[in-house]
Amino acid sequence: MSHSPRRIATAGLLTIVLAACAGGGGSAGTTPPGGKAAPPTQSTPLRPPQTPDKPDPVESALAEMSVAEKVGQLFMPVLYGTSASSESGENQARYGAQTPAKVIRKYHLGGVILFPQNVRSARQVVGLTNGMQRAAKGVPLLVATDQENGLVARMSALMTDFPGAGEIGAKNDLSLSRAVAAATGRELRSLGVNLDFAPVADVNVNPANPVIGRRAFGDDPKKVAKMVSAAVKGFDDAKIAATVKHFPGHGDTTVDSHSGLPVINHTKAEWERIDAPPFKAAIAAGVDAVMSAHIVFPKLDPSGDPATLSKPILTGLLREKLGFKGVISTDALNMGGARTKYDDGEVAVRAVLAGADLLLMPNDLPKAHRAVLAAVKSGRISKQRLDQSVTRLLTLKQSKGLLAEAPAASADEAARVLRSAEHRKLAARVSGG
C-alpha cells in the first residue's frame, strides 16, 4: 500500500490487512574509516543473577510453560473489538473465537497490536488493554502499535499530533528527536501500550520510494543514525520498548513490500555505508527490538528469500555480525512481500528458523500456529531454538516491568498525559521552527 502524504490512521479492514511496519504498520555507530568496527554492545538490560531467595522471573516463567504456551508467545495478531469482551464476527472467522479475551487464551498469545478500529476514547482503550492483560493470565502481553507520528500514527485520534521523522530530521536537532520519542512513549504507556514499532531506521536514498519517504529521518546515513539513536533513548526514557525498522534497510526501493517483493542491489560495502549505520547506532543505544523487512538483498543472501525469512541476514548479520541480543520481529506476515514463495504456515516456520522471535500479524493465525507447533514437535524447530525466542520475549517484558506486577493502565493518568500542554508545546516547536 503506497502512502500518500496524509496521516494513516483510517479504520477499516483494508487498513488492517495491508498494515504493518514496512509501510505503515503493519515495520549504529558507524564503521571507522579504513577498518571494521567491533560489534557494538547491545544494552538490553541483563537479568540479575539468580539467587536462592530470589528466583529469576524469566527462568521461572519459561519453566512453567508448555510447548503450546511457548509457541503462543511468538505471535502478535491484530484483534477486533473495542473491549476484551467485544464479540466480533471477524474474530470468529479469523481465529475461531469471538472476543479478544478468548482469542488470547485460545492461542496463549504473547502480544497483540492495536489499530484505529480498536480506538474510540482514552478510557475505552485503557479498558481494552487492561482487559486483554487480564485475559493473558500467566504472562503479560506485549501490547504494540505503530505510532511513528506523521504519516503513520495509529493512535492519532487520542494522541498529540507530533510531526514525523522527516520533519524532525529536517531540524537536525537530536534533542527534539529524543524529546518527541519520550513524549510519544509516555502517551502510549498511559494507554497500556508497552511497545512501539518505531523509529524508522531506513535511509531514504531513493526519491521514488513508495513506502518510506518522509517516514525516515532523511537520506544521510550518519545523520539518520544519530536521530535514530536519540529516538531510541527517548522511548527508553518513557520505559516503553522501541523497535527500529526495517532491517537490513528499506530505503532504496521502488516497490511497496505490502503488495510486492522489493529487491535492493546494494553491494555489501554499500550496505555498510548506507543502510547499516542507523541499525548499528540503535543497537549501541540499547534498542529493544529490530523489525525485519520483506525485501530481497542478493548481495547479503543470494537465496531470493526476503530478509524476514533469511538466516544469513537475521542470524548471521544482525545477531552475529552486529551483536544484537534483543527481540527480532518480523514485519507483518500478511504483506505480499512475505508471501510470494511459501504458504502461511511455512512462512511462520521459516521466519523462526531464520532467527525471528516475534511473528507479527500472520495472514492465517490458526495455520501459522499449527505449523510452528508441528515444527517444534517434529524437531524441525528445536526446543532450544524455541526457548531462545521465548527467553528474549520474556526478558523484554521483564525489562519493562511487566513480569514484576500485572500491568494496568489508568484512565485518569491517560487524561493527564494525552495531549498535555507540555506535549502540544513540543509539537509546536518541531513544526514551527
Per residue in 234-252, pLDDT (tens digit) is: 999 999 999 999 999 987 7
Please tell me the distance from the alpha carbon of residue 375 to that of residue 361, in angstroms, as a whole number.
Answer: 19
Name the grid cell of 182.
Answer: 519520550
Task: Determine how many CB atoms are found less than 10 A away from the CB of residue 53.
Answer: 4
260 located within any domain? yes
Strand partners, 354: none
CB 289 within 8 A of CB 396: yes
Q: Is 294 a catalytic residue?
A: no
**Does the pLDDT of residue 125 top 60, yes or no?**
yes
| Catalytic residue (choose from 196, 331, 357, 364) | 331
CB 119 within 8 A of CB 186: no
* Burial group, residue 302, by CB count within 10 angstroms (0-12, 13-18, 19+): exposed
307 located within any domain? yes
CA 114 to chain centre: 12
Across the chain, mean pLDDT equals: 88
The H-assigned helical ranges of 27-157 are 57-63, 67-73, 89-95, 100-107, 122-136
Cell 484505529 -> residue: 116
What is the bridge-based pairing of β-strands 289-292 and 327-329? parallel
CB 211 within 8 A of CB 245: no
62 located within any domain? no
263 located within any domain? yes
* Burial group, residue 311, by CB count within 10 angstroms (0-12, 13-18, 19+): middle
Q: How many domains does the chain have?
A: 1
| Catalytic residue (choose from 258, 266, 294, 423) | 258
When computed from its CA atoms, the radius of gyration of the chain, rounded to whole angstroms, is 20
Q: Is 331 a catalytic residue?
A: yes
The mean pLDDT value for 381-401 works out to 97
* 5 vs 211, higher pLDDT: 211
The mean pLDDT value for 300-313 works out to 95
> Residues 318-335: pLDDT tens digits?
999 999 999 999 999 999
70 located within any domain? no
286 located within any domain? yes
Domain that holds residue 292: 115-122+145-389+415-432
> Residues 128-151: pLDDT tens digits?
999 999 999 889 999 999 999 999
pLDDT score recorded for residue 354: 98
Strand partners, 76: 360
Helix (H) or strand (E) holding 113: strand 111-113
179 located within any domain? yes
Sorted by sequence, the CB contacts under 8 Å of residue 379 that are 6+ apart come out as: none
Name the grid cell of 160.
Answer: 498529540
* Domain CATH number, residue 421: 3.20.20.300
pLDDT score recorded for residue 336: 84
Please tell me the distance from the alpha carbon of residue 149 to that of residue 200, in angstroms, as a whole number.
Answer: 11
